Chain A
Amino acid sequence: MDFGLSDEQEMLQETVKGFLDQEFSPARSRELFNSASSHDGALWNGLCEMGVAGLVIPEAFGGGGLSALELSLVSEVLGAAAAPVPFVEHSLAARALARAGSADQQARWLPALAEGTALGTVAFGEEGGAWGPRSWSVRVEDQRIWGEVLYVSCAEVADLMVVGVEGGGLVAVERESPGLKIQGLEGLDRTRSLSRVEFEGVPCAVLSTTPQLAEETLAVGHVALAADGFGAATRLLDATVEYAKTREQFGQSIAQFQAVKHQIARLGLEIEPTRALWWHAAYAVDHLPDHAERLPALAKSHVGDRASALARMAVELHGGLGFTWECDVQIWLKRILFDRGYLGSPESLREDCARLGGW
């Protein structure tokens, strides 16, 4: 019985964090928020050299062969830094391919995805906030697909896109396939790009035809996004504590006002214990089959909710400054909102939890 991290897992987090501390400053985030691009190729390449791109790809294909827990631990660190890299999307696409791709597909794609020379993403979001396999409508016929998917992250730079289709199956689509149209959208979180993607008879490789693989893939995504949101929220909490200690009003630091102190304590109360929740959910994905889908959904809805409440209060505690574009709080606020909405809102995931709980 050990609800803790191994030395290797601790080291993984420290290594990625050390790299980000050195290579990616808040100034760089600010730059991104003022430019059109949401992808930092150099940063991603650096992370790929550390093996981040292949974390969950089997070792036989040059990956790390690691589990959802390691994936989430890296996600936490990337969320805390608000790093503009498609780590979660890429890992989900690679994991789906590793689980269900044909031998040919795997040999062709997995080594490149593990190295980071190829980039993967997932296309799961449809009109009306429908992220779940039960509501997908992209039509498949004769190894081709027709339909439209909204809110695809990093579509413009992805080499491989795993698309959710009618009936809950998954298919893989390659870059620059005929009939593939990508239209960039103005995203809220400038650290993750967004596109609308249209498929007009695009050739595809079928990975699965029943929802099981999609559900499993989404569960991994749910934990990873909970971890990302947690990382962002704890970073925002630290920043808020620092600000409250240094900002003076009425001749004293505002942290000396009990109202402020209690608000900060409440922020901590809401987010700090949830680290254990997403750890547990990540463990469940690989080790607790009865909870492998439900606990991640519960973790994502809970952390999404709590982290965004924290972000709102962090803005408020920064006063007028908090409402400005130049204040870094907005970077994490938007990261947290993306994590809350992407791959399923708390509201829709809670309905899934109810169903999966047999209620």
Chain B
Amino acid sequence: MNAKPPRLAEIILTSFITDKRMADSVLGDLAEEWQERTSRRGRVAVRIWYWRQCVRSAPYLVVEWWRSASAGEIARKVSSSLVVFGLVGLACLYAHLASIAMADFIIGMLSASSEGGDPLVKNWDWIARLAVVQSTGWGLLGGFGLALVVRNARMVGVVLLASLWFPATAMLMAVLPAQWPAWALIAFPVLLAGASIVGGLAATSLRGLFSKRYDSAGNP
């Protein structure tokens, strides 16, 4: 039976904690309980318990960071998230413009062979689909890049970035054309936020897996 808790879960949980002492205590407590549980329960059940603990702890750690961080820390974290938000936003805008061009081209080809239907409605649906797919890719890259750049509690910054997509999309509703499909308005922030978090988790995991596991004394 594996005596060590899942490394990936440890890496992800640590990426939500700024204080090294707290990270040590949290991981130590989980490791201790992991040992106790593995002697009583099956390996799968204990792994599920461990992951569940990590997932359920993350929101508390983000809220606590927000409550206790100094103004400087908040400014640094928010500004790095805002820079990535701006870059991804610009990329999404270009993605949107590229989608319009691509959709025009595809619809032009399709309308030559198809019969009936309103080409304008088809056109906007295509544009929305293409824009959403491309923006998801940009969101993924944004989360990945932010988690690579930020050092301390990198997933807190990624969560900030993900949450920025919701008010941004709400503001977009005012300028988007009336033909823009309703499903895309919901899909945009959800996919962008989800992709940012997935990208952030991927970068965090990659960084963590290539680094060694250290104990409280700093020994690998």
Does A pair with B? no
Q: Which residues of B does A touch, CB under 8 Å?
A: none
Q: Which residues of A does B touch, CB under 8 Å?
A: none
